[in-house]
Structure formats: structure tokens, C-alpha cells
A and B are shown apart, each in its own frame.
Chain A
Amino acid sequence: MATLNSNIPAGPLASKWESYKFNTKLINPANKRKYKIIVVGAGLAGSSASATLAELGYEVHNFVFHDSPRRAHSVAAQGGINAAKNYQNDGDSVHRLFYDTIKGGDFRAREANVHRLAEVSVNIIDQCAAQGVPFAREYGGLLDNRSFGGAQVSRTFYARGQTGQQLLLGAYSALNKMIGAGAVKSYTHSEMLDLVVVEGHAKGIVVRNLQTGAITKHNADAVVLATGGYGNVYNLSTYARGANVTASWRAYKRGACFGNPCYTQIHPTCIPVSGDYQSKLTLMSESLRNDGRVWAPKKKEDCKKAPKDIEEGDRDYYLERMYSAFGNLAPRDIASRAAKTVCDEGRGVGETGLGVYLDFSAAIERLGEGKVRERYGNLFAMYHEITNEDAYKTPMRIYPAVHYTMGGLWVDYNLMSNVPGLFVLGEANFSDHGANRLGASALMQGLSDGYFVLPATISGYLASQNPGKRPATDKAEFKQAEENVEALTNQLLGNKGKRTPASFHKALGTLMWDYCGMARTKAGLERGIKLISELREEYWKNVMVSGEGNEWNQSLENAGRIGDFIELGELMCRDALHREESCGGHFREEYQYTPDDPETKQGIVNPGDVKRRDDAFAYVAGWEYAGSPAKAPILNKEPLVYEEVHMSTRSYK
């Protein structure tokens, strides 16, 4: 059994981070350069961490599987980044951002981490502005804000619809500065395929060069994973096609616990699926819900009609009806589930029946087409490019799609996993978003972890390590990990199977969406586990990988990643099965409010809203590998203790 000690510092919540920083061990500037740190990934968290650690004086080695650090999928975030700056004087504060995030996460996040995130948020904006991130500005030259994702205050900073891109390019520029200075060594087209653990500590990684196929060993005093989320386990998602769980998964197989894997976010405003060839779902920024009205026909028979032929009275603006206070801006998990409910009732629109309308006619009437074009022109153009429909004339069709995974490798307050020396940042860790992430919070967390948190917490661990005794790469553990990677590669290439990796990925995606998607049941999850384990067995017998190991081989790359996804899928189902409650992005049909519940009668919640069970499930599930994919993993628990906030029913009515 692993020990999941959160290592939350003592003291009042608001001063924990300050006192932590004072009490943590520091490393003498002259000694820092003796420490070598591996950072895997170069999204917001990985780039910012690599740059900042190098600025502090550590020797940093950064690894990405992309051709350039700038390609990481943080680049695709559209909406914005939250920060408790209160530039709008609308009552925002660190405490309010903290509270909104805890509540938004449905009381399944760690209080101390979230408070620290809210505190650091203000520094992020300063840092990014100083780097030259061209945030939107007002005519006076000061920064503009908008309200985003249902927040009651305007605390979101943005750069047109490309905030993630601009923040990533900012972090990438910081990384470039340090690469140029020789302080960071950058390895591109280099995919981490194993973690090396020596005497219980993470001391290195094994990497495959995607251009040449060369497998190399790299040692370090600490290993940092900033390798993103695992939403591609569903095959269809808003993730980049290359996004994968492999680095995290290989660390899991080396003993790192996987926290809350079943917490996935389904984003309500994506373009619906149009066919089985589809490789990617495209997100339409949540900001569209600021002016668009979501509706579906009241009557099933209207579904195939053109939307303009459906009378106003026959339209069901269901979010406005169900959540009068938030209306179309209801949080993501709620809006997604409501769309699913409507479609399950047979009231979905479009060819597949899996879609609802997002209608701008009222906004165009109120603001004029010019204003709407100014606000959302690029999104409307993107929608037109994909669907060949003009959203100025006819409502957009949207449907929820997998967008973010709140779960990830378990970390303590230091962002260190239960394997000492292994740190996990950004979406790859489980920590700050609980069971549901609020809009514009992912960018905040990635940069907070990379720029401010890890650089402060890693010294505590490094101070306990002697860089002079760093294990060399000829040590047995390195050789064993290298052989492990080579064996896996050879197994995939030597398999004389009949099915392509992509066909397995599609099959896995369908199983995950059906049994571990927006609504989950005990029976469904049990069936999912059975079918996925069968798929896993078939995979290793029947997968067909073309080409050779010593060349650029995308088939081989995918095969390794999909093999890991299949195992992860099973774990997600197990986590979802064990968590007999509904919370945030995890919805178990057995646990929802019914019309008879007192909370429903009091009008706090709607029937069908998630029913949390704080008495039994107020903990983080940290799953531990049992030595074989076929063996049931071991469940470890980190109880969630709320010192400051009271766990209440999450109501958005």
C-alpha cells in the first residue's frame, strides 16, 4: 500500500503558502547548478517550469515528443485565464476565486492547493504581461477582463480567442531564452517511455527519439512530468491527436498512484460528430454562451424540421428553464448533462440526433450582426469551415465532448507524487480542480504550477538529495527500464496481427463513451471493465504495427500510446464504479436528486442534479498498480479535510 500524505502545511489557510515558503529548505545558489532536473512536456506547465528552474540555476533537461516545445496542446485553449486581480472592482478577491474553484470542483479538490492557486493567480498575469503576452486591452491601455464560464465576476484575462496560444508562446519564449543561454537542454521528438526508479526515488527516464528510433537513458536528481491530460482515451475529444497518457501511465506502472481517474470534463459547446471517420471534435469557445441561447425542440417530431420552422413556443430553452440564475452560463458539467438528457429524450437535432441548438438570433437582434461578428467572428468562421453552415442565419448545432481530465497522477502539496523525486504538474496531476474544472482555470493552474509552485517546492526535496551521488545511467535500474522499453517495442513490431492501432482506439473510445461517459451506471461500468479487458487481451495478440523500430514510425508511436490508453480505460471504469456518488464530471445515474428529495423540494437543486455523498466519498482515490494490467489495482485514499469552507450542496439554480 502506498502512503498518500498530502503534506499540507499547518496554520490558517490564507497564510499556509507564505509560511511554507519560509519554512522550506533552500539550496545555496552555488550548489543549484549541481542539480539536474528532467522536465517532460513543454505545455504551459512544462515550459514555465523548465524556464524558471533554469533561471534559478538548476541544470534542466526538457523533453517533448513534438517537433517543437511550442506545439503542446495548451496552445489550443481559447477562452482565457482567471486571476483574482479585481481590476474591474466587482468584488473579486483571492478568497472568492478560491471559493468559486472549490465549489466548482464540487468539493473534491484539496483546499490548501486551491487557495495557493488563487493567491498565485495574480502573479501569473504580471509575469505574462511582462513577457509581452498581448492580452486584450481597453482604450486606456489597461487590461480588459470578461466574465467567463459562469463566473459572477469579470476576472478572465484573454487574448482574442487564442489565450492559450499566447500564454504558451510566452512560456515558450521564456524557455527559449534559457535554451539560448545554454541553461536548458531541449530534446524534441523525444518521447518518454519509462520512468527509472532507484531505491524508491525517481532518478531518470528512458526516451525514444522519434526520428531515429534510438532509445536513450537520462538520469537526474528529480523528474518532473508535465505531460497533460488523457482525454484521448475516448478517441474522440477536443484534445490534439498526439495527446497521450503514456508518460503518466509508465510512471503509474513504476509505483506512482493515479488520482481520481474517472473525473473527466465534458465540454458542452463542441461541434457534433458527423461521421465515423472523425478524428477530432472541435470546441466552440464557451464565451459563445455569453450571447447564445441554448435550446431544443419541445416536441420530438420537430427535430428534423429546419430550426426556423419551429415556433418560438415550441422551443425549450432548457438551461434558462432549469437554472434561472445562471441560465445559459451554467457550469460545464451541468450544461453538458442537460444536453445529454434532452437528446436522450429524443429531442436532439441534426443528422445523428446528438445535438442541440446554440442560437444567436436574439443577440443579433439586440446587438446587431456587426457586434456579434466583432465578438465571435472567428468562431463563426470556424464553424462555417467545418459544417458549411452560416451561424448568422441558422443556429449552431452543438453537443458535449470530452475536453479535460481533472484526474491525474496523485501529488501532495509539494506537487510530488508518492514516488519521491517524481513531480507532476498541470493537467497531468489530479490536484486543483476536484471533480470539475471551471472555465479559464486550466491555464491558471498550468502556469501557477510551473512558474511559481514547483520552483518553490522542489528545493525541499532536492535539499535531501546529494547530487554527487546521482545514480549513473549504467546502473541496473536504468538498464532494466531500457530493456523494458526495447521489449515493448519489439513486441509491438513483431506482432503479426490483423488490426491497426487506430481501429482499437476507435473501439476503446466507443466503449468509454458508452460506459464511462456523461452518465455512468454500476452495470454499465462492470460491462465496460469486462469489454475493455477483453480488448486489452486482443490488442496484444492482434495489433498490427507496420515499419521498423529504427525510423520515424507513427504506427509504432500510436500503438504504444493506445496500449496504455486501453489499460487506463479499465482503471477509469474501476474508479467510476467504486465512486458510488455523483460529483462534478462524474455522474452516476444511481446518485441523482429525485423530485422527492428535500433539496429538490426546497428548490436548491433540480431533479437529475448530481448527488454527492460526502460521508462516504470525501476523499481522493489514489490507485496503485498491482504489478500486472490484469490484476485489480489497489485503492489508497487521501481524505479531504475542509478547514475553511463548508461542504455544501452545489446549487446553480
Chain B
Amino acid sequence: MKVKLKVWRQKSRNTPGEFRTYESPGLNENMSFLEMLDVVNEDIANRGEDPIAFDHDCREGICGTCSCVINGKPHGPHKGVATCQTYMRSFRDGDTIVVEPWRAAAFPIIKDLVVDRSAFDRIQHAGGFISVRTGAAPDANSIPVSKENSDLAMDAAQCIGCGACVAACKNASAMLFVAAKVSHLGLLPQGQPERYKRVKAMVAQMDTEGFGSCTVTGSCEAVCPKEISLDFIARMNRDYGLALLKGEPKKIAGGVAG
């Protein structure tokens, strides 16, 4: 099979980009979408041109690096998979496939299809953790967790941090990403001491990064390669409200250290 690719090419952050069209060499329908890009790139490189930059790493759907919007949909046509797990048999011979980067102000384009997702890291720096020093942990079985909550926490914790939720949302909102982390930690007993501090800090950083807000359209859930549920956004909304109601902790009273 052969396809025609209409790809966003942009040399660097501050240069304007444009769509360029490439004819693929002969392809095999068992190729992954990224392998197809490899083959097209070899062809481009052999012509002495600059290959298409695209992000990828594990190619098994878990590292969250790959990030193409394929025919307008982040991670391509199938539900619950990442771009790297999209296979060419999902397309027809002769198709024109439009490939674009994630588009969001908070994810500036580095080159072609590669975007800068460091905003996600900064949100995690703000509070995406349980403060436990190495060595300070009690025996693992001293903290029982109901299977139901543990499973629910795992549902949220599966997030691979790819940013497809942002790419899909018409508001480029990062709510699903942030909610997944807030819910994962907030559902576990270990995460309770910092539960409300965490949600406030992470939401504040999310807003600072310039993501949009949630208008509950559900498109994030529809493209999430891990099918993370909108339920978690509700959970975060609730926790944030409770955090506001609780207010700030009392200032430490004056006194002399003993």
C-alpha cells in the first residue's frame, strides 16, 4: 500500500510552519504508524532533505512520548491506543493522512511534530508526590488499602503523560492529566496528609501554564490511550472545592523552640 502524507513542518519554535505533502514509498499494512514515518524519513533523507521530526521512544504505548494528531484525532483512529500502537491496516491504500503536532499554547512546538511538554513536569513538581523520605517508610502491609480504592487509584495512575487530553480538548485543558494524578494520590491513605495542599498547588500551576479550563465535552476521555475517565475530573473538582473551604492551615504560633 501507499499513502500520501500531509505533514506539518516547522523548523523551530519561532519560525512559521506549513503543511507539506509527501508520497510514501511502498508500505506494509502490518507496519506501525511510526514505522511508516521511519520509512518515509529514510526516503526523505536519501533525497538529501531534512527528515520529519517526530517524538517517539518505547513504541509499545507506555512511555507517552509519541504525539501525533492523525487526521484531526490525537493518537489516530483507534480507541485506547497511542500513535505507536496504530497500524497501517487502519488506513486504506491511497489515503491522504494529515499529521499534525499537539496544538496548545502550553505545548510550544520544538520542531515539526515535536512539542515541549515540560509544563506537565512543572505541574508534577508543584505537588504530584507523597512526601516520603527514602528509608522512612513503614512496612508495606501496615497500610491496608481497600482493593476497590487501590484499583481505582491504579486506573488513574496509568496516565502516561502523553498530553493527548490537552491536544484533543477544544480548550487545550490539562484537567484530565492533573485530575489523574490528584485522584491517584488522593484515593490512597498514604496520600491523605497532603491531599488538599496537593490539589491546590497542582491546579495553581496548571493555570499558570496557560492550559484552558474544562467544559466537560469528554473528548479527552475519548482519545486517552489509557482510557482515563472523566470521573477523576469530578473528583478533583470536589477536592479543590473542599480544599478552598478548609482554607489555609493555622499559622504556627509564636514561641521559643525548646
Residues of A with Cβ closer than 8 Å to B?
Answer: 48, 51-52, 55, 66-71, 73, 75-76, 85, 87, 123, 125-132, 134-143, 159-160, 162, 165-166, 169, 172-174, 176-177, 179-180, 186, 188, 211, 238, 240-242, 274-275, 277-280, 282-283, 382, 385-388, 451-452, 455, 500, 502-503, 544, 546-547, 551-552, 554-555
Contacts and interface: CB of A to CB of B under 8 A. Distances in A.
Contacts, number: 222
Contacts of A503: 42
Contacts of A240: 57-59, 63
Interface of B: 11-12, 27-28, 30-32, 34-35, 38-39, 42, 45-46, 48-51, 53, 55-65, 78, 81, 85, 87, 89, 110-111, 114, 116-118, 120-121, 124-141, 143-147, 150-151, 153-154, 157-158, 160-161, 184-185, 188, 190-191
A135 B157 CA distance: 11
A385 B81 contact: yes
B134 A127 contact: yes
Contacts of B150: 134-137, 141
Contact of A546 (B30, B50, B132): B50
Contacts of B28: 274-275, 277
B55 A67 contact: yes
Contacts of B140: 85, 125-126, 128-130, 135, 143
Given A127-B135, A134-B188, A159-B154, 11 more contacts: A52-B134, A71-B65, A87-B141, A127-B134, A130-B138, A132-B188, A134-B150, A137-B146, A139-B147, A280-B32, A382-B61
A125 B140 CA distance: 6
Contacts of A546: 45, 48-51
A55 B89 contact: no
B180 to A, nearest CB: 11
18 contacts: A48-B134, A71-B58, A75-B63, A75-B160, A76-B60, A87-B141, A134-B188, A137-B147, A139-B147, A141-B147, A159-B157, A180-B125, A240-B63, A279-B38, A388-B87, A452-B135, A500-B42, A502-B38
Nearest to A179: B125
Contacts of B151: 134
Q: Looking at B31, B60, B118, B147, which has the most chain A CB atoms within 10 Å of its CB?
A: B60
Chain B, interface SS category: loop
Q: Looking at A51, A455, A544, A547, which has the most chain B CB atoms within 10 Å of its CB?
A: A547
Contact of B12 (A132, A455, A500, A552): A552
Contacts of B153: 132, 134
B137 A211 contact: no
Contact of A76 (B55, B63, B131): B63
Contact of B57 (A66, A130, A138): A66
A128 B120 CA distance: 22
Given A132-B185, A162-B62, A127 B137 contact: yes
Contact of A277 (B35, B50, B114, B136): B35
